Structure 1
């Protein structure tokens, strides 16, 4: 079968009057000769337009201090060349392959780091190889096969995390709860699109992915995700409807060992004032809790996905003082599974 990525690549360089060698010439060899060059980004994924740039992701032998793209403009085309050292890339691949998602332990910053790692390495796995040694082209094929599992897990966890946030915010900040419910549905739809052959790890193209799939039902759900209520009284019905859709798209996900983990957000501190404790974040917002409250001092609060949160935990989360993550865990102490 002809590779549609190759058709998109050739159409792009033809439009700008470039040869394949001229494209490869844009790769900087300061850090060593290329071991693998992969064309990636919106052009290769089929979402580019006349002003889109072509991304070249290149593996070189030496370590590279920066991953900022080196831009060039041959014949008016914009080519962004990103270099990565072989050791750095293999370490990242090894780390992604050895970890489960959700992980056994999770802390603030882990979600951003995971998303960044998946975004970076899937460019190599999902792009079109233009040049490579035998070893590195074999690595690229293996990475392509593994990347789908990482992205599917990522979208599933993101969907359940946003669903939990929507539930907790519903009483305190209903309009924000509606937005989070929509975020949960979009994550579920990203996983749905991935399973049907649209793997590009860029959420801004979700509508185009579903359009290309010709999935009218998913497009209707996407429209709902983008249109949270503007009135508080409409939010509960919207959240309920969104949860129904989430179940239809995530029903195959085994969440039995998943737990919600709430921890102090970065910048949150506790100060004692007699019978009350003052919880503040960056000195910009504060909330008073009783000394005997379950959130009277810093800690970690863990719940099953369907479990009701302690009211004080929910209140602090709603004030953006607690961070919400998802982790793998066994039975909670003293509680039946």
Structure 2
């Protein structure tokens, strides 16, 4: 220790009056000072052990005593017994972040210095030997190092040497922690590793590690660092990191599905997030064959016209859309040492506007993977409503033309109003407004659209068209022309400018059903509200009219 026992006992005497129910507890000093690593800024870490069968708070109390920061934790004997049992099970089963916390708690207690009631301290320390703990810690660090090195090899093959070097650095640190644990240096916190190596003494492997501690220190380029790092990891006793391309495969990620609308590819993650792919990224995505080696996948992507697919596939990995795996052993799950758990990341939402077009979500960069800025269920509901609004525009226009032909001015007036409101429904849906406001308010609710919306005076036109009257042939012809121009303007702003004239021919109706069916499938997958009840019949018929005879 770097502090005398007399000073620690004095500090403990001053701490006890500030703690409830401290009487009768055993007390140990744990942490970096107990290990002999601490400095003047280090906390004084007291653990109070109560010989009771109770649940004591996990959260520590932070006190300031004699100018030192004192952290006080409490555990009952039963909690410590459960802790040692749980850590053995967790290491054996590889239970992720939970293992890290359990290992840290057990290590700190096993290497602690007794200050009060040494008999009780000896009893709880007897729950696990230091040799058994060192073996568990070594295996845990080795497994984490293995995954980091494997991930570094993945990134190098994807053409990202700098990122590969960063993960190799993480793998090296964890590999040397595993090696150090076998020599009795089990303290988990990585920042004290240099002092742990000092205590181990001169050794060729620790010397090589110090020379490769980081890319900057090594003097190597990124590719050379990865090669040298992998060799050292093997020499440190980590198996399963051979540099053979056939061992790395591309695997399917859980709860990830692909949905194509027209030429646009969407990938839904966890039924919550929708990613839209630029056309080059979509080509790379479509070239993936799960279960194949990464080298085969890259060759297939190049043959499919995507020669630089590596960085795109790396993005798929980061976002959790695919997984890298080690053949015969399952997914590669790389984790930085004592850091936030690794997992799929989520990029900032796309700012492309409008959010949705008839052909799919908006995307500007051909190599982008854009996160649609609304939840998946709302996205699909708004998209279905966008398509259905365009169908209703076509239907209302047919009604208007028929009413004008028969001089049914009242019917024509109502039909003109319906065209306007259905078109505005579509515009609001393209900006992911869902559920929609009532028809009586849709025109005024155009004020909801963001400042960057490409509306080109649409709101002003809509407000004027709401006041149109149809009471003569002249007014009817004017209304039809202005509404056609308005619909064309709205469709141009929402990517629906090639929407079929649904009711002109059987071919146009077939194309309308095809567009609707693409979106209905996604909506049904996400349990989104369908725009009309009849849509379920289109789904059950596989996109065909339910009564049409098959050829």
Distance (whole Å) between structure 2 residues aligned to residue 260 and residue 90 of structure 1:
41
> 1:135-146 residue pairs with structure 2 within 5 A?
137-145=122-130, 146=132
1:128 matched to 2:113: yes
Match in the other structure for 2:399: none
Distance (whole Å) between structure 1 residues aligned to residue 157 and residue 23 of structure 2:
58
Return closer, same or farther for 1:262/1:293 CA change in 2, 3 Å cut-off.
closer
Match in the other structure for 1:162: 148
Structure ranking higher in strand proportion = 1
Structure ranking higher in helix proportion = 2
Match in the other structure for 2:266: 278
| Contact 1:161–1:326 (8 Å) recurs in 2 | no
After TM superposition, the score normalised by the length of structure 1 is 0.71
> 1:260-299 residue pairs with structure 2 within 5 A?
264=253, 269-273=256-260, 278-279=266-267, 282=273, 288=282, 293-295=288-290
Distance (whole Å) between structure 1 residues aligned to residue 26 and residue 114 of structure 2:
7
Shift of 1:193: 2.1
> 1:19-34 residue pairs with structure 2 within 5 A?
19=10, 22=13, 25=16, 28-30=19-21
Match in the other structure for 2:65: 74
Q: 2:164 aligns with which of 177, 184, 199?
A: 177
After TM superposition, the score normalised by the length of structure 2 is 0.46
Higher RCO (CA-CA < 8 Å; seq separation 6+): 1
1:58 matched to 2:77: no
| Contact 2:260–2:266 (8 Å) recurs in 1 | yes
Match in the other structure for 1:95: 86
Distance (whole Å) between structure 2 residues aligned to residue 236 and residue 193 of structure 1:
27
Shift of 1:284: 7.0
- Larger Rg: 1 or 2? 2
Shift of 1:239: 1.1
The 3-state SS of whatever aligns with 2:215 is: coil
Return closer, same or farther for 1:127/1:220 CA change in 2, 3 Å cut-off.
same
1:10 matched to 2:1: no
| Contact 2:15–2:65 (8 Å) recurs in 1 | no
1:224 matched to 2:215: no
Distance (whole Å) between structure 1 residues aligned to residue 188 and residue 249 of structure 2:
25
Q: How many residues align?
A: 299
The 3-state SS of whatever aligns with 2:225 is: helix
Shift of 1:116: 1.7
1:195 matched to 2:182: yes
Shift of 1:291: 6.3
Shift of 1:152: 0.5
What do the CA deviations read for 1:280-334 (whole angstroms, capped 9, x no partner)?
Answer: 6655786646568445xxxxx7x9xxx867738965664342567999969xxxx
Match in the other structure for 1:208: 195
Q: Which runs of 5+ in 1 are unaligned?
A: 1-6, 296-300, 331-337
| Contact 1:39–1:130 (8 Å) recurs in 2 | yes
Q: 1:244 aligns with which of 228, 231, 239?
A: 231
Shift of 1:97: 2.0
Match in the other structure for 2:526: none
Pairwise CA RMSD = 4.1
Distance (whole Å) between structure 2 residues aligned to residue 126 and residue 156 of structure 1:
21
Return closer, same or farther for 1:293/1:92 CA change in 2, 3 Å cut-off.
same
Distance (whole Å) between structure 2 residues aligned to residue 212 and residue 323 of structure 1:
40
Return closer, same or farther for 1:51/1:100 CA change in 2, 3 Å cut-off.
closer
Distance (whole Å) between structure 2 residues aligned to residue 260 and residue 187 of structure 1:
24
Distance (whole Å) between structure 2 residues aligned to residue 273 and residue 229 of structure 1:
48
